[in-house]
Amino acid sequence: MDLQRMIGLGVVGNFTGHLEQAGEAQEFVHIQVIDNHQPKGLFPFYVPGYTSSFLSTYPISSTHLTCPHDGSHVQIEPEIALICQLGYQKHTVHDLRPVKFAAANDCSIRKTSAHKISEKKNWGCHSKGLSQTLIDIDRFTCGGVMDPFHVASFLRREEQFHTYGINSPVLGYSYFTRSYKNGSLRE
């Protein structure tokens, strides 16, 4: 599977409370959604063959992270990445089917001068993390292979590990289910 041939898209607010945790909720307050727990939209972070911008730089690495040279603050963002198969109908995407998932680090630069969220997400090679292990998805619903997984993150600094973020069930992602409360899942 050649990931460099696939478009990389991110979901704005894919986990309830994520925008608030990242200090970005105000940037998306004007976007109307039916349910406040819904994501606010999609953005590209990599577009293969798009040669006129930073979006053409392949940012994914499973071995290391390269911080920007301009002194920008980098925030790690533990996530689940989905590899999806697209179905087309007359040059329009009409179907999106998740086929694999993996642990990911959806790093962001905290820079106030960015005009678009994608400018905070790809600052060059090795600016995003992705596990080398991609797990096949049997079904993207409750009762599938993804059920027991959680997103937990740790930051290593000078050989010491520190908990970073909240240990969160994958089933709590807002696109995965409609609600997840007190350990019970409703689709």
Q: Which of 43, 10, 45, 7 is nearest to 122 (CA)?
A: 45
Dihedral sign, Cα of residue 146, residue 150, residue 153, residue 154 = negative
Q: How far apart are CA 107 and CA 127, in angstroms?
A: 7
Report the CATH number that the domain containing residue 43 is assigned in CATH. Answer: 3.90.850
Q: What is the number of helices (H) and of strands (E) in the chain?
A: 1, 15
Read off the pLDDT of residues 36-75 as tens digits, 9 standing for 90 and up: 666 777 889 999 988 878 899 999 999 988 888 776 788 8
Q: pLDDT value at position 166?
A: 81
CB 93 within 8 A of CB 86: yes
CB 65 within 8 A of CB 105: yes
Q: pLDDT value at position 83?
A: 94
Q: How far apart are CA 8 and CA 3, in angstroms?
A: 9
Q: How far is CA 89 from CA 28, 42, 95, 96, 143, in A?
A: 31, 21, 9, 12, 30
Q: pLDDT value at position 181?
A: 40
Residues of the chain with pLDDT under 50: 178-187
Q: pLDDT value at position 184?
A: 40
Q: Domain range holding 11? A: 3-186
Q: How far apart are CA 39 and CA 137, in angstroms?
A: 22
Number of structural domains in the chain? 1
Instruction: Give every CB contact of residue 154 below 8 A, 6+ residues apart in sequence.
Output: 161, 162, 163, 164
Q: How far apart are CA 160 and CA 49, in angstroms?
A: 41
